Amino acid sequence: MILFAIIIVASWLMTTCGIFVFLTLSNTKKPAEYGRYSKPKASSWALQPRVAWMFQESPAFFIPFIFYWTNQHLTDYGSFLTCLIIFHYAYRSFVYPFLINSRNTTPIYIVLMAFVFCSWNGFIQGSWNAYYQPEIDKFHPRFFVFFGVWLFAIGFIIHFVSDLHLISLRSRGPSTYGIPRGHLFEYVSCPNYFGECLQWLGYAIAARSFPAIAFAFFTICNLAPRAMSHHYWYRSHFGSKYPNGRKALIPLIW
């Protein structure tokens, strides 16, 4: 019961933090100082992008992996959901960092905050799936499972293809930015964020657990204002050359 209470409280805190992050990023309109927004003067207190990504994302891989490796799951379905978490963060921690071509450093405080969040999220998702996720039955309709996993897979494909597309634009130079074209970039400025939101919405639908819903909620609260910042940056940077019809995050809507 103590573990259950910890997971529930941590999930509520994640939901509350999501609201705080959304309001802060939306009201200040000040993007986090990494990537294209990094400041050279902060380089002495910053990490190279590959090191930063691996360090900050890896807890969300290793913590659920420990639960999976030690075979603590009560149900096969809980184990399967943990595999979805592991799959995503294996990409973010050990594949994506070696694909990027960037010299923009990330401040230590941002890396540490991301590390803490990934540790926090990895624990609540991994522990819930291990000890409290029920098996698929009449109270957990297969429709939600299939639809959620399908959405997760579609979201990952969109996310992955968008990452590759953005990386290819940087191949001309680590400090060169261009207007992305093709794929979902014809409809939104940040299809990579759109794909990641779809992933965790799908995961939440498939899991139907409070920790999964809290994480999906936080992801949207975090990425929506960042997508708008990128959208404004593209428009201010490229001016009339940037397509007028593109939205920030959701095709044809917003």
Cα distances (angstroms) measured from residue 88 to each of 19, 25, 111, 126, 137: 24, 25, 19, 13, 26
Confidence of residue 171 (pLDDT cuts 50, 70, 90): low
Could you read off the pLDDT of 95-135 as tens digits, one per residue?
999 998 877 788 899 999 999 999 999 999 999 999 999 88
pLDDT for the residue numbered 102 = 77
Residue 36 in tokens: 């294209």
CA dihedral sign of residues 55, 61, 64, 68: negative
pLDDT value, residue 34: 56
Would the pLDDT of 4 be above 60?
A: yes
Please give the residue that has the higher pLDDT: either 69 or 170: 69
pLDDT at 178: 82
Confidence at residue 168, expressed as pLDDT on a 0 to 100 scale: 87
Say if residue 138 is exposed, middle or buried (CB neighbours under 10 Å; 0-12, 13-18, 19+).
exposed
Q: How far is CA 239 from CA 179, 236, 243, in A?
A: 11, 5, 9
What band does 184 get if pLDDT is binned at 50, 70 and 90? very high
Query: What does the pLDDT read at residue 140?
Result: 60
Cβ contact 50:79 at 8 Å? no
pTM of the complete model: 0.92
Average pLDDT, the chain: 90
Which pLDDT score, from 0 to 100, does residue 203 have?
98
Q: Tokens 């639809």 appear where?
A: 147
Each residue's pLDDT tens digit, 37-50:
556 554 568 889 89
User: What is the C-alpha separation between 163 and 102, in angstroms, rounded?
Assistant: 13
Helix H or strand E segment including 116:
helix 108-131
pLDDT for 32: 59
- What confidence category does residue 187 fall into, taking pLDDT thresholds of 50, 70 and 90? very high
CB 87, CB 155: distance < 8 Å: no
Domain ranges of the chain: 2-241
Radius of gyration of the CA atoms of the chain, in A = 19
How far apart (Å, rounded) are the C-alpha atoms in residues 35 and 106? 7
CA distances in angstroms from 68 to 74, 86, 222, listed in the order given:
11, 9, 28
For the segment 192-225, what is each residue's pLDDT rounded down to a tens digit?
A: 999 999 999 999 999 999 999 999 999 999 999 9
The pLDDT, as a whole number, for residue 80 is 96
Amino acid letter, 36: R
